[in-house]
Amino acid sequence: MDARLGDVIDDFCVKCRRLTNHSVVSLLNGAAAKVRCRTCYSDHDYRNEQAPPSKKDLKKAELFNAVLSGVAPPPPPAGDADGEADSKKGAKKPGKRAEA
């Protein structure tokens, strides 16, 4: 369903900080691009009823990524470096005959 100018839709208002009724102010490719809150009359981009992430969550994610970037990846096992894994148990590879 295409929106029309003046249609009333629900969206998250950043000024009111809640989901409120909005009027469509601008369209882009048949979808709402800008809306006006019918409670506080502020204009903003249409957010598809999604609240923006809190600054606290963004800070936590940034710190988590900083810690992960400082951790070195574990070294590969010694036997797998050549591509040949020698097994001490003497396990046979499937599909191959055991050499005598």
| Domain CATH number, residue 27 | 2.30.30
Number of domains in the chain: 1
Digit-coded pLDDT (tens) for 11-31 = 999 898 899 999 999 999 889
Residue 39 lies in a domain: yes
pLDDT of res. 35: 95
pLDDT of res. 98: 57
d(CA 88, CA 78) in angstroms, rounded, equals 13
pLDDT at 99 exceeding the cut of 70: no
Q: Retrieve residue 82's tokens.
A: 């050549």
Tracing tokens 């055991």 back to the chain, one arrives at 98
Residue 34 lies in a domain: yes
- Residue 13 domain boundaries: 1-68
Spatial contact of 26 and 2, defined as CB atoms under 8 Å apart: no
pLDDT of res. 49: 84
Nearest CA-CA partner of 11 in 36, 30, 31: 36
Residue 40 lies in a domain: yes
pLDDT of res. 93: 62
Assign 91 a pLDDT band (cuts: 50, 70, 90): low
| Overall pTM > 0.85 | no
Residue 20 lies in a domain: yes
Digit-coded pLDDT (tens) for 30-89 = 899 999 999 999 999 998 888 888 888 889 989 888 888 887 777 778 765 555 555 555
Residue 96 lies in a domain: no
Give 85's strand partners: none
Residue 53 lies in a domain: yes
- CA distance readout (Å), 78 to 70, 74, 84: 24, 12, 10
Query: Which DSSP symbol is given to 57?
Result: H
